[in-house]
Amino acid sequence: MTELLIDDDMLDDRVLDNPGWASLTAGVHARFAEVHGRAARYRPDVSSFMTLADPNDPQAWADAAELAGPDAEVFIAAPKLTPPPGWTAQMVLPGVQLVGTALEGAEDEEAVVLGEADLNEIFDLVERTKPGPFRPRTIEMGTYLGIRRDGALVAMAGERLHPPGYTEISAVCTDPAFRGQGLAARLIRAVAYGIRARGETAFLHAAASNTNAIRLYEKLGFVHRTGTTFAVYRTPRG
């Protein structure tokens, strides 16, 4: 297995330059990893995310093509993505990465831990709110919390990428009928509370066009770190 060697002197925000690679090859998510040379991905039932050791390295792209197989759709995120010939862009979306340097976590008595028994409701909420890809084992990536109203799941947030020293907050979503009540902010703080309890720092990603969400994140204490690109590509046909 390819490894990203990280010593104590490197446990700073440099792991966020390539958080997917650090998560799969040097973090606790190594157990979910499928690695081929300089490319790695989560097992398909966990996440659709693929990552490259160096997005500027043609060999990493070649390894990714072999790992995914011919004419396969893959999701990749990195600051700059320029695939070699033969890769077809299905979607390219500018994004931002923010770090919760001033974020204050807080326990929430109404937030409940979500598990396998809640998957049907989770998928229903994801389908209605479109927070991003969610697979049958995504909840195994970290803690997912939800808030219910009259027994129904109406808001959710959880943990995704987990590079050393950091945890990504993801899948933040609220049923449209319950927006404007501060549920997303409460869940972000609740998830962040657990992250901080482990001695880690929260970070997250957002589409650059999602200005409302970014304003909320900044109000909560997240600061802009860098830009990124979310892309779906189809591998060469072989």
Q: Say what angle helices 211-220 and 183-197 make with each other, to 10 degrees.
A: 50
Q: How confident is the model at residue 9 (pLDDT cuts 50, 70, 90)?
A: very low
Task: Yes or no: say if 50 and 35 are a contact pair by the CB < 8 Å rule.
Answer: no
Mean pLDDT of the chain: 93
Q: What are 32-62's pLDDT values in tens digits?
A: 999 999 999 999 999 999 999 999 999 999 9
What average pLDDT does the segment 67-94 reach?
A: 95
Closest to 233 in 3D by CA, of 86, 88, 59: 88
pTM of the model: 0.92
Quick one: pLDDT band at residue 3, thresholds 50, 70, 90? Answer: very low
Q: What are phi and psi of 22, to 5 degrees?
A: -65, -40
- Residue-wise pLDDT tens digits, 163-197: 999 999 999 999 999 999 999 999 999 999 999 99
Please, which residues have CB within 8 angstroms of residue 14's CB and are 6 or more apart in sequence?
A: none
Cβ contacts of 21-24, under 8 Å, gap ≥ 24: 21/51, 21/52, 21/53, 22/163, 22/164, 23/51, 23/161, 23/162, 23/163, 24/51
Query: What local confidence, expressed as pLDDT, does residue 1 receive?
Result: 34
Q: Output helix, strand, coil percentages for the chain, rounded to the nearest 5.
A: 35, 30, 35
**Kind of pairing between the strands at 223-234 and 88-99:** antiparallel
Distance from C-alpha of 44 to C-alpha of 134, rounded to nearest angstrom: 10
- Strand spans (E) along 112-151: 112-113, 144-149
CA distances from 209 to 42, 94, 101, 213 (A): 27, 8, 22, 9
Query: Largest Cα–Cα distance of the chain, in whole Å?
Result: 53
80 falls in which pLDDT band (50, 70, 90)? Answer: confident
pLDDT at 79: 86
| Mean pLDDT, residues 4-33 | 80
Q: Which domains does the chain have, with CATH numbers?
A: 14-95+229-234 (3.40.630.30), 99-225 (3.40.630.30)
pLDDT in tens, 101-149: 999 999 999 999 999 999 999 999 999 999 989 999 999 999 999 999 9
Q: How much is the pLDDT for 11?
A: 52
Q: What's the Cα-to-Cα distance from 2 to each of 22, 56, 64, 184, rounded to whole Å? A: 11, 17, 13, 37
